[in-house]
Amino acid sequence: MKQPLRPAARAALCAACVVLLLAETVVVNVQTTALRKEPKFYAPALVVLKAGDRLEAIGSQDGWLRVRTAAGAVGWVHDSAVGSRAFALAAVDKSLQTKASADEVALAGKGFDKQVEDSFKARNRTISFVWVDRMLKIKTSSAELERFLREGKLAEFGGGR
């Protein structure tokens, strides 16, 4: 007669099932974002992520997703930076995964895009984009954000009522 599985093996098997349950693919839908060490916007960035990068979601906490990149890096991204939450359907039906991916790809680079903007610019030469491009270059780093919040006694560094 077969021996019952040891508790450790049981736990591992259950954990594997749970991981399979939670496995979800998300796609970065902002120009760039950071894979962060902790679920906070001022936490150090581990890797820079770009639009279209696919991530495996392995957990969540207060609007943040714990994810694994294709290269194996693990960290946190904010929920608002990702979209198209196609379930990782590999375990269920490979063809469906293909379908979801095909649609995401079909929509990803289409619509009102740079080509349309260039066409608009050609028709409206008096409208200047110089300041638009200039304002987009203004960035607030994670360290500056933390200092701003801390010095201003804001949010989790907050003052009294």
Partner 1 sequence: MRRRRPILVPLVVVLAVLAATSCAALDTIQQEAGKVETGVTKATSATASATKTARFVRKTFGDISEEEEYYIGRSVAAMILSRYKVYANDALTRYLNGVCAAVAVYSDRPEIFAGYHVLVLDSAEVNALAAPGGFIFLTRGLLKRCQDEDTLADILAHEIGHVCAKHGLQAIKKSRLVDAFRIIGEKAADRYGPSELAQLTDLFEDALADIAEKLIERGYDRKHEYEADELATVYAARMRYDGGGLIDFLGTMVDSDAGGADRGWFATHPKPEDRIKRVQGKVKVFRREKARTNRFKAALAGLK
C-alpha–C-alpha distance, residues 116 and 96, integer Å: 32
Q: Count residues contacting partner 1 (CB under 8 A)? A: 71
Q: Using CB under 8 A, which of 1, 70, 71, 135 touches partner 1? A: 135
Q: How far is CA 127 from CA 32, 109, 123, in A?
A: 27, 25, 9
Q: Using CB under 8 A, which of 1, 2, 125, 131 touches partner 1? A: 131
CA angle 120, 114, 54 (to 5 degrees): 155
Q: Using CB under 8 A, which of 1, 8, 62, 95 touches partner 1? A: 95
Distance from the Cα of residue 11 to its chain's centroid? 30
Q: Does 49 contact partner 1 by CB under 8 A? A: no
Which residues, 9 to 38, sit near partner 1 by CB under 8 A?
A: 10, 13-14, 17-18, 20-21, 29-31, 33
Question: What are the structure tokens assigned to 33, written together?
Answer: 């974002």
Q: Does 59 contact partner 1 by CB under 8 A? A: no
